[in-house]
Amino acid sequence: MRREVPLIITAVVGVIFVIQYFIPHAPFNQFNSWFSDWFAIIGACAIWLGALNLMRISADKIYRRRSGWGYAAIIIASFLLIATIGFAGGSQFRDPGTGFDWLYTWVYSPLSATMFALLAFFVASASYRAFRARNLEATLLLLAAFFVMIGRVPVGDAIGSFIHLPESLMPSKITIWIMGFINSAGQRAIMIGIALGIVSTSLRIILGIERSYLGGD
Amino acid sequence: MTMRGANRPFCRFGLSFFIILLLPAYLCGQESIAPPSKVVAYDFKYDRGEAVELSWQLSPDDKGNGSISGYEIYRAEDPLDSFISIGFVSAGTSSYRDKSVYKGQSYRYQVATSSDGHLYFSEISAAVVPRMELINWNLLNLFIIGLFLCGSVIFFISHATRGKKLFIRKIAGLEAIDEAIGRATEMGRPILFVPGINDMDDVQTIAGITLLGRVAKVVADYDIRINMPVSRSLVMTTARETIREAYMGAGRPDAYSDDMVNYITDEQFGYVAAVDGIMVRQKPATCFYLGAFFAESLILAETGNSIGAIQIAGTAQPAQLPFFVAACDYTLIGEELFAASAYLSNEPKQLGSLKGQDMGKLLAMIVIILGVLAATVSQMGGGQFFTDIHQFLSNIFTVQN
């Protein structure tokens, strides 16, 4: 029963969701919002599980003086600080000028932006590896990347004019062609594959053929 | 007297001059703009009674010369309510979809031509009542395609269970999973499994978790450590359950610990910072990134690359795939992520479902090739027949809503 009940629930809910897509009439039209609400409620309750787990693991790490326990101490201190200030602010805790808003604007946002900014450097290092012309595919990738990058900036067309390239061979035009045809075609092929993969996976789960998310074969 | 009599012809001329030349000029400044005509309101078909479709014939003065700024849409709840403005569309537009209606309520509409701050009202439309339909026939094409796909999958599943051999092409990323886990065993280092940053309502996360079940089974057999930081509480509970079941299946329930899966934060970059820190400190031998990823994909993959880990990634986010391809050793591209669990199971039923999926691809390929040919012939002057075929094939995969 421990395995059968989740399988039955999955199958019934899966079929209902397929039906509600094609039948706009009540009660099917309500299911989507009902299930979304239920999911939001369960998610909101489960956040405490996550928060408590984070606290427990961090406290355990400090208690046992495991490597990196200093980071765990910072996690607990930050968690308690922002939770206390948030709760102290009442229902308007997110309003401009509150302590929570100050922490969000001047601590959280800059830290987040710092992590995001790392992406620029990682793009550079990854591009360096990807664009090395080791074989035919990598060379084509390099050429495509060269034209797309140079076609995106005004200097690309300026160089094209300087060497008297015909209008249709201007870097900006080549960029549009690459993005509009080669790139779009590739992306759509991937999207079609993904859509079919989702259908197939959903069907396996609804039919109970796919059970590995329950830990079984 | 003579004087007055002598001036009479001049007066008559002056009056005629005013009537013939000046009056039309005066009237031109006050010229009335024609309102739109034939305003028809009808229930938007096959919906939940949440929309009314409105169409009208453009004002004869709507000639695209800027004399008309657009059309103001008015609505009244039948029969006694007064008309209120509900929307505005630009000149040259002759339809409007009112999505702010309630099913079962009767409405009347009026459209006004707007010109220089003046409104010229049409006739009032007949009353319309939005109704809820039983079946959305606009989605019939998707229903038929869905039936075809489901039928193909079920057919090939039954085909496979009868013992027929099915050919499934090798997926390098999945073939490498055992090798990657074996490497971690030899090096005595942990495995890092990142299931993306979306919740359990995303099919990519579900695909990642199904793959986790397979990976956890091998991990349990090899008796190595798996570390799974997650950004959603529900993913944490599901992943714990999956790993626990895998350990029980491998006959080693005592080796399982809840600490294998730990929640970090829902915040995207907070999560990335924590996972990067774990990578740099613990130096896992193998990193799996299987699920929904966004801007964090490259940050994670490049950090993993810098510590020399074998990396296997898979996502259905087309924008993130190039990053994973550039930074990881193996990448499951889109559909391969969804096929992974079935592929690894090697069960006839699961493999049959992959074959059914291929039939969907075959259908898409046929429609695309025919559509391209029809569009090309139509452009070369092939006539209305090919244009109609192209339109029909385009509509097959178009959601009409």
pLDDT digits (tens, 9 = 90+) for B310-357: 999 999 999 999 999 999 999 999 999 999 988 888 888 888 889 888
Q: How far is CA B207 from the centre of its chain?
A: 19
The ranges of chain B annotated as CATH 2.60.40.10 are 37-121
Supply the pLDDT for residue A215: 58
pLDDT digits (tens, 9 = 90+) for B168-184: 888 999 999 999 999 99
Q: Please indicate whether, in this complex, the C-beta atoms of A210 and B350 are within 8 angstroms of each other.
A: yes
Per the CB < 8 A criterion, the answer to whether B351 and B168 are in contact is yes
Say whether domain B37-121 belongs to CATH 1.10.287.3510.
no
pLDDT above 70 as % of chain B:
92
Q: Please indicate whether, in this complex, the C-beta atoms of A23 and B153 are within 8 angstroms of each other.
A: no
Sheet architecture: strand order including B261-263: B261-263, B226-230, B191-196, B286-292, B310-315, B330-333
The ranges of chain B annotated as CATH 3.40.50 are 166-346
Would you say residue A55 has pLDDT above 90? yes
Q: Nearest residue of B to residue A24 by CA position?
A: B48
Supply the pLDDT for residue B31: 65
**Which of A48, A109, A115, A205 to probe by mutation at the B interface, max B CB count within 10 Å?**
A115
Average pLDDT, chain A: 90
Main-chain phi, psi angles of A193, to 5 degrees: -60, -45
Mean pLDDT, residues A184-190 taken together:
93
Nearest Cα residue to B314 out of A118, B304, B297: B297
Mean pLDDT, residues B354-378 taken together:
93
pLDDT digits (tens, 9 = 90+) for B13-51: 444 544 444 444 444 455 688 999 999 999 998 888 889
Supply the pLDDT for residue B21: 45
Q: Nearest residue of B to residue A109 by CA position?
A: B269
Q: How far is A48 from chain B (nearest CA, A)?
A: 8
Q: Please indicate whether, in this complex, the C-beta atoms of B210 and A115 are within 8 angstroms of each other.
A: no
Mean pLDDT, residues B279-289 taken together:
96
Q: Nearest residue of A to residue B316 by CA position?
A: A194
Q: How far is B37 from chain A (nearest CA, A)?
A: 33
Domain B166-346 adopts which CATH fold?
Answer: Rossmann fold (3.40.50)
Dump the DSSP string for B178-236: HHHHHHHHHHT--EEEEEESS-TTSHHHHHHHHHHHHHHHHHHHHT--EEEEES-HHHH
Q: Please indicate whether, in this complex, the C-beta atoms of B338 and A198 are within 8 angstroms of each other.
A: yes
Average pLDDT, chain B: 88
Supply the pLDDT for residue B12: 52
Q: Please indicate whether, in this complex, the C-beta atoms of B301 and A126 are within 8 angstroms of each other.
A: yes
Q: How far is A66 from chain B (nearest CA, A)?
A: 12
Give the nearest partner residue to B353 out of A29, A187, A204, using CB atoms: A204
Give the nearest partner residue to A196 out of B234, B341, B361, using CB atoms: B361
**Which of B45, B99, B234 to probe by mutation at the A interface, max A CB count within 10 Å?**
B234
Supply the pLDDT for residue B297: 96
Would you say residue B80 has pLDDT above 80? no
Would you say residue B8 has pLDDT above 60? no
Supply the pLDDT for residue B346: 83
pLDDT digits (tens, 9 = 90+) for B230-252: 999 999 999 999 999 889 988 99
Burial (CB count within 10 angstroms: exposed 0-12, middle 13-18, buried 19+), residue B168:
middle
pLDDT digits (tens, 9 = 90+) for A81-115: 999 999 998 888 889 999 999 999 999 999 999 99
Q: Please indicate whether, in this complex, the C-beta atoms of A112 and B136 are within 8 angstroms of each other.
A: no
Give the nearest partner residue to B350 out of A116, A202, A204, using CB atoms: A204
> How many other CB atoms are found less than 10 A from the CB of residue B356?
26
Would you say residue A69 has pLDDT above 50? yes
